Amino acid sequence: MAGIRSGVVRRRPRLRARPPGLGALAIIGLAAIAGLAGLVLFLSLVAPPPPDEPATPGRLVAGDLVFEMQTAGWITHDDVGGPVPSAVANGFQMPASMMPGMPDPGVQRLYLEAVLSNAGCCQAAFAPREFSVRSASGQTFALDQPATFEAGSLGPGQSRSLDLLFDVPDTVSTLDLVWTHGGQVQLARVGASPPPIHDHAGG
């Protein structure tokens, strides 16, 4: 019939409502993760650095060069050579005039044997003037001259032995080897005790 409208009514779809509190839980979770990350970062900044590996006695590193002390000892005037036997009360020492190159009385000669190696990838130079010894009181004693080796250089992976001689007063009991190379000053304790001081005045 004319003038009669259809009775069909279209309904709008309803949007499903989110459960209450879901957004708040997401915000709380993100905040917790951010806080945990910040805590880890803070602890990494304030935590003390891990301890260095214990240094090897007698081993020094300066730039690409590695110095490793092998032996340490003392050269004296004793004619018997090496330790004085107990049967010899005061030992016997020859005067320096009879042993050219030996130190004067009252002076001991320190002998160090070492190996110098190049652990880098470039040529590395060294010189005798880089080495000296220092007493506990701060006295410094240079390498004996002429030195047993000359200035030179080592290529990558190369190494060579060094003989170091130092004349020091026989009253010195503690010495450190001092190596000055490439602007660095390295110290290594000399592990040799001086020989006993003998009284050669007789009596």
Q: In this predicted model, what pLDDT tens digit does every residue of 60-103 receive, in sequence order?
A: 999 999 999 999 998 865 533 444 434 333 444 444 444 447 77
Predicted local distance difference test score (pLDDT) of residue 5: 55
45, part of any domain: no
Q: Is the pLDDT of residue 56 over 70?
A: yes
Q: Count structural domains, the chain.
A: 1
7, part of any domain: no
151, part of any domain: yes
Task: List residues bridging with 189 in a β-sheet.
Answer: 176
Phi, psi of 154 (to 5 degrees): -125, 135
Task: Kindly state the percentage of the chain with pLDDT values over 70.
Answer: 61
50, part of any domain: no
Separation CA 25–CA 40 (nearest Å): 23
pTM exceeding 0.75: no
Predicted local distance difference test score (pLDDT) of residue 166: 95
All residues at 6 or more sequence positions from 51 whose CB lies less than 8 Å from its CB, including other chains = none
Cα maximum dimension of the chain? 156
Predicted local distance difference test score (pLDDT) of residue 31: 72
Q: Is the pLDDT of residue 179 over 90?
A: yes
Any idea what the CATH number is for the domain that residue 118 is in? 2.60.40.1240
161, part of any domain: yes
200, part of any domain: no
6, part of any domain: no
Q: Which residues of 35-60 are buried (b: 16+ CB within 10 A; e: fewer)?
A: eeeeeeeeeeeeeeeeeeeeeeebeb
29, part of any domain: no
Q: Which domain holds residue 123?
A: 59-79+107-189
- From 12-21, 38-47, 81-90, 184-193, the region with the lowest mean pLDDT: 81-90
Q: Is the pLDDT of residue 189 over 60?
A: yes
